[in-house]
Structure 1
Amino acid sequence: MSTAIGEPKEELHQRVAQVDTNHSDVLINADLMNDAVDGENREHEMRIWEAVKSHPWACFWAFVMSFTIVMESFDMFLNGNFVALPAFQKKYGVVVGENAWAIPTRWQSALFQSGQCGAFVGVFLAGPVTTRLGYRWTTIWALVLMNATIFISFFANSLTLLVVGQALEGVPWGFFIANSPAYASEVVPLVLRGACTATLQMSWSIGGIIVAAATYGYRAGVDEWSWRIPLALQWIFPTPLLILVFLSPESPWWLVRRGRKAEALRSVERLGPRHTTENATQTLAMMERTVEIEVQQGGEPTLLDLWKGTDLRRTTIICLMYASQNFAGNLIANQATFFFEQAGISPDRAFALNLINSCLGFVANAGSWFLTAWFGRRTIYLWGTAVNITLLVLLGICASISQNNATNYAQAVLGIIISFVFAGFMGPISYSIIAETSSVRLRALSTGVGRAAYYVAEIPMIYLASKMLNPTGWNLAGKCGYVWGGTALVCWIMAFFFLPELKHRSYREIDILFNRKVPARKFKHTVIDVKDNE
C-alpha cells in the first residue's frame, strides 16, 4: 500500500495491469512487448556513471552478496600462512634442519584441500537449493552454518581436527561462491555487470589483506594463539553479513522465474530509481520476455539440462573459465608467504611482502573496474593471460641461474607482479564471463557446477603446488614458473578459440547468439535485432 501512495493514477494503473497480466502473454501482448523493447533499449543506452547514480542500491546489494566470498578467501590465505608460521611449524611440523621445522607435504595439501572438498559439496547443493529458496534465504542459511562450523576449527587441537573443521567450513563457501556472481549480475543494469561481478575478486583481496595483516602481527608468537586468534577473526564476517542479506531484495530475475511478479516489481523498484514506475514496469517486461523465451526451450531446470543442446556449450565455457583460474599462476598468490620463504627471503620479510602483495591485489581489483568499462571480456582475458605466461617463464629462468640475494628478490618481485596481473585481469573478468554466459533459467545451477569444475582442477593443483615448493617435496621454488607458464598457455589457446565476447549484450541477445551457434570470435560483431524472440 505504501509504495502506491503519491503515484499518478496512470502510473498506478500501469503497475497493476503489468502485475495482473499472465506471465506467458509477454510475447503476444503488443503493449508488454513494447515495454520489453523499451526496457532493453534503455539499458543499452545507459552510461556507466548514469547507471551508478540511478542504481546505487543495486550496486550496494551486489557488493554485499559478493562480500560473502571474503570468508573463503580468508581461510584459503590463512591456511597458506599457517604453514609459514614458526609456532605452527614447531607444533605440528617435522625437523628439516637446525632449529627449522616444516609441515609435511601431505598435511599441507590436506589443509589446503579440505575446505575445497567441502566447497565442492556446497556448490552442488547450492543450485537446487537456490532454485527453490532464492538467493537471499539460501545465503542466510549458509551464513548461519558458517558461524557454527568456525567453532570446530578454532578449538581444534590437532591437524586432523583442523582439517575436519576446514572441510565443514567449505560447505557454506560453496553456497557463497555459487550464488554471488549470479546475484550480482542479476540486480544491476547491463552496463554495470562487468564491474559489479568483478568485485568478487576484490573480496578475495580483502580476505588476503586481513589474513596478511593478522599473520604478520602474530608471526613472532610462540604459542597456539599465533594461529588461533587469526582463526577467531573469521567470526567478524557472518553475522553482519547475515543482517544485511536479510534486508536485501531478492533477485527480480529469480522472482520472475518463480512467477512472483508483484514481488519482482517491488524488487526492481528497490534496486532502481524511485521517481518513476514506468521504468520499473519496462524492466520487468524485459525480464519476462527473456524468461519466457527460455521457458519455451525447457521446463523446470535440472542439472541434466546443463549438458543438453546449446547449454552444453555454455556450461563448458563456464567450467573452463573457472578451472583456468588455477592454471595461470594464481596458486603462487595463495601460498605467497611460503613461496617467498622458499625463494630465499627471510620469514619476517616474507610476511611483510605478503601484506604488500595482498594490498597490491586490492589496487589491481579496483583497476579492473576501469578495464571492464574500456575493453571487452575476451580482450582482457587473452592479454592478461599472455602477460602472465611471459612473467612465469621469466620467473623460471630467474630461479634456474646461479642464486644470490638479487635473484631471490627478483623471484619475489616476479611473484608479486604475477599475482597483481591475475588480480587485475583474469581473476575479476572470469567472474563477469561466468555470470553472463549461463542462461537465466539455469544460472543458479550452472554457476554451481562451474565452481565444482574449479575445485576439481584446484584440488590436484594445490597438491602439485605444495609438492613443487615444499623442501620435503621437489623444492623447485621459482622454477614452478615453467609449470604454471605451460598450463597458462593451454588456457590462452582454449580461450582464443572458444571464449565469446559478451560485453554490452543483454541476456536475450546472449541466448540468441548461443542458439544460432555463432562462433566465439564472431560474437562481438553479430547484429541481433531488438525484436527477435527466437
Structure 2
Amino acid sequence: MTSNVEKRDATLDDAPEVDELQKKNILQSEILVDPNLMSNAFDAENREHEMGVWEAVKLHPMACFWAFIFCFTIVMESFDMFLNGNFVAQAAFKKRYGVYVDEASGYQIETKWQSALFQSGQCGAFVGVFLAGPITTRLGYRWTTIAALVLMNATIFISFFADSLAVLTIGQAFEGVPWGIFIANSPAYASEVVPLVLRGALTGTLQMSWSIGSIIVAGATYGFNKREDQWAWRIPLALQWIFPTPLLILIFFAPESPWWLIRNGRRAEALKSIERLGRKSTEKSEETLAMMERTVEIEAKTGGEPTLLDLVKGVDLRRTIITCLMYASQNFAGNLIANQATFFFEQAGMSNDFSFQLNLINSCLQLVANFGSWFLSGWFGRRTIYLYGTAFNFTMLVLLGICATIPQNTSTNYAQACLGVIISFVYAGTLGPISYSIIAETSSVRLRALSTGVGRAAYYVAEIPMIYLASQMLNPTGWNLAGKCGYIWGGTAAICWVAAYFGLPELKHRSYREVDILFNRKVSARKFKTTVIDVRDNE
C-alpha cells in the first residue's frame, strides 16, 4: 500500500519545475493548513504524553537499541580520559616518564605533563565539537559518526607507538577530534529517536558509557599495574581498538534520525526511519511524521538554513546559555575528582595497589548509580534532580575539605577516600546523566546539531583550565592540597546551584513543540512546569 507521504512526494517529483528547495517549502507549509495532517499531529503528540515508560519500551525497542549504540561511542572518550588518570598513578609509567621527588613520594609525573596529558585530548575534542555541527547538518548523524569512528581507529596508532610524553600528548590531541564529534552527536541523536517519556533515561546512558569505560580502564590498569616494562601502559592503550570497528559496523545499519531527514526534505525516508524505530504493527507512523513536520515547520519560520550565528539570536540565546552552563557545570561539582580517582586516593593516603582496587570499586559503583538514574529521571523532574544532586555534592565536598584540614591519621585518610567515592557516586546518578537530558531537550530541533556542539565546546573551555588546577591541587610537585581541594570544588558547586535555581527550566514531559513555545513566550524558568500549552498552539 502506498503511504500518503509517498503520494505527496510522487506528485511533486512529477513536476519538473519544482526544484528541491521548493519541494521542502511546499511540503513543510502544507502541514499547518491541512486539517487532516494537523489532526494526525495532535493525535501523535497526545499519544506521546499519555505513553508510559514500559509501553514506550515495548513499542520502540529498536529506538532504544540505536540510541544506546550511539551513546556507547562515548565509552572511547571515557576510556582514554580515565586511562591518563591511571597512568599518572602507575608505578612503571611514573618510573619511565616521571621525576624523583623524595623518598615518600617516589617518582611522579611532573604537573605540567600531567596537565598536558589531560588537556590535549580535550583540546582536540574542542575542535571536534565545532566540526560536528556543520558536518552533521550536511551529512546526518549516521555518516558523521561513521567518519569519526574511522578517524578514531587511525589516531590510536599515534598514542600506542608514542615513546615520549610529548608524542603521547600529540596522540591524545588527535584522538580528541572524534571524541568531540561523538559527544556532540550522541545526546542529540538519542533524544530524537526515542519517545518523549524515554528521553531522560536514554540520553542518561551517556553517563553509563563513561562508567563502563572507567570500569574497563580500572580493571586493565589494575591488572597490569605490577608489570615493570612498557607493556604496563601500551596494552591498555591498545585496548582502545576494541570499540571503533564493531560500533562502525553497527552504526552503518542504523536508521538516520527522522527529524534530520524531515529537516532536509526527505519525508519518505523519514517515514521508513520511524517505522524501523518502532513496531510497524502498532506504531501510527504517519501521525508521528505529521507531529515532527509540524514542529519543523513552526521552527522553520525563524528562517533559513541553521548557522552558528542563530544560536545567539533572539530566544535561542537563552537556550544556548542553558546548554553551555549545563555542560560547563559538569566540571564544577566533583567530577574532576572522579576523573583522577586513583591519583586522588593515593594523595589521600592510600597505598598504590589499594588505590587501584578502590578505583575499580568506585567505577562499578558509578555504573550502579547510572542504572539508578533511569528510575530517578522517571520519578522526578530534570530541575529537581540537578538541584538536589548539586546540593548534596556541595555538602560532601565541604566535608572532604574539613577531613583534610584536621590532624591527619589513618581514619581521616579513609574518610577522604570514602567521601571521594560518595561524590563520584552521586554525580554518576544525578548531575552527570540528567545534564545530558537537559542539554538534548533545551535546544530547538533546527539548531540541535549546532547547539550540542557549542555546548560541549563550553564544557572544554571550562574543563581545560580546571584540569590544570586539579593537577596542581593534587600533585605533590604542585600545591599538594589532597582533600582540601573539596573547599574549592564546593565553592564552584554552590555557584552552579544558584545559577540552576534561577535559570534552569523543567523540561520533563514536554514535547519539542511545547519547549519551543515556552521559550518563545519567555516563561520564567521556575514556571515552566506549571504553564499549560494547548495542543493546537502553533506559535
TM-score (normalised: structure 1) = 0.97
Whether the 8 Å CA contact 1:118–1:167 is kept in 2: the answer is: yes
Match of 2:20 in 1: none
Distance 2:220 2:35 in 1: 60
- Offset, 1:274: 1.5
Structure 2 residue 312 is the aligned partner of structure 1 residue 322: no
Q: Do the aligned residues in 2 keep the contact of 1:212 with 1:355 (CA within 8 Å)?
A: yes
Write the deviation string for residues 369-392 of structure 1: whole angstroms up to 9, x where unpaired: 000000000000000000000000
Per the alignment, residue 236 of structure 1 pairs with 242
Which amino acid in structure 2 is aligned with residue 113 of structure 1?
Answer: Q
Q: Which amino acid aligns with 2:49?
A: H
Pick one of 509, 512, 517 that aligns with 1:507. 512
* 1:447 partnered with 2:430: no
Distance in 2 (CA, whole Å) between partners of 1:273 and 1:37 is 20
**1:65-214 pair list within 5 angstroms:** 65-98=70-103, 100-214=106-220
SS of residue in 1 equivalent to 2:204? helix
- Equivalent residue for 1:530? 535
Alignment partner of 2:313 out of 302, 308, 315? 308
Q: Which amino acid aligns with 1:239?
A: T
Residue 188 of structure 2 corresponds to residue 221 of structure 1 = no
Pick one of 479, 490, 497 that aligns with 1:474. 479
Displacement of 1:298 in angstroms is 1.7
Deviations 1:373-424 (A, max 9, x none): 0000000000000000000000000000111111101000000000000000
How far apart, in 1, do the equivalents of 2:309 and 2:466 lie?
Answer: 28
Please, which of 252, 259, 266 is the counterpart of residue 258 of structure 2? 252
Alignment partners' CA distance in 2, 1:96 and 1:348 = 20
1:431 to 433, 436, 441: 436
Separation (CA, whole Å) in 1 of partners of 2:508 and 2:267: 28
Corresponding position of 2:6: 16
2-side partners of 1:461 and 1:255: how far apart? 39
Mapped contact 2:5–2:268 kept (Cα < 8 A): no
Contact 2:221 2:236 in 1 (8 A): yes
* Structure 2 Cα separation of the partners of residues 528 and 456 of structure 1: 36
Alpha-carbon deviations, 1:260-306, whole Å to 9, x = none? 000000000000111046x1000000000000000011210000000
Partner of 1:7: none
Verify the 8 A CA contact 1:26 1:289 in the aligned structure 2: yes
Selected match of 2:39 from 34, 47, 53: 34
> Is 2:40–2:291's contact at 8 Å kept on the other side of the alignment?
yes
The AA in structure 2 aligned to 1:377 is: R
- Distance in 2, matches of 1:413 and 1:16, equals 60
Which amino acid in structure 2 is aligned with residue 131 of structure 1?
Answer: T
CA distance in 1, matches of 2:411, 2:248: 48
Q: Deviations over 1:240-268 (max 9, x none)?
A: 00001101000000000000000000000
Quick one: which amino acid aligns to residue 250 of structure 1?
A: E
Asked if the contact 1:18–1:281 (Cα under 8 Å) also holds between the matched residues in 2, the reply is no
Match of 1:9 in 2: none
What is the distance in 1 between the residues matched to 2:78 and 2:374? 20
Which residue does the alignment assign to 1:8? Answer: none
Deviations, residues 32-75 of structure 1 (Å, cap 9, x unaligned): 10011111011011000000011000000000000000000000
- Contact 2:5/2:267 (<8 A) preserved: no
TM-score by length of 2: 0.96
Percentage identity across paired residues of the two chains:
77
Query: What is the identity, as a one-letter code, of the residue corresponding to 1:128?
Result: P
Q: Which amino acid aligns with 2:147?
A: W
Whole-Å Cα distance in 2 between the matches of residues 344 and 460 of structure 1?
26
Counterpart check, 1:343 vs 2:355 = no
- By how many angstroms is 1:18 displaced? 5.8
- Following superposition, the deviation at residue 131 of structure 1 comes to 0.1
Corresponding residue SS for 2:500? helix
Q: Is the 8 A contact 2:256 2:273 kept in 1?
A: yes
Structure 2 distance, partners of 1:432, 1:18, is 35
Q: How far did residue 22 of structure 1 move?
A: 2.1
What's the counterpart of residue 490 of structure 2? 485
Q: How far off its partner does 1:13 sit?
A: 4.7
1:371 paired to 2:376: yes
Aligned pair in 2 of structure 1 residues 255, 481: CA closer, same or farther (>3 Å)? Answer: same
CA distance in 2, matches of 1:19, 1:329: 52
Taking the TM superposition and a 5 Å limit, the aligned residue runs for 1:377-396 are 377-396=382-401
TM-superposed deviation, 1:14: 3.8
| C-alpha deviation, 1:30, in angstroms | 0.6
CA RMSD of aligned residues (A): 1.0
CA gap 1:100/1:268 in 2 versus in 1, 3 angstroms: same
SS of 1:101's partner is strand
| Count of residues in Structure 1 that have an aligned counterpart in Structure 2 | 523
Offset of 1:100 from its aligned partner?
1.1
Tell me whether 1:457 sits opposite 2:470 in the alignment: no
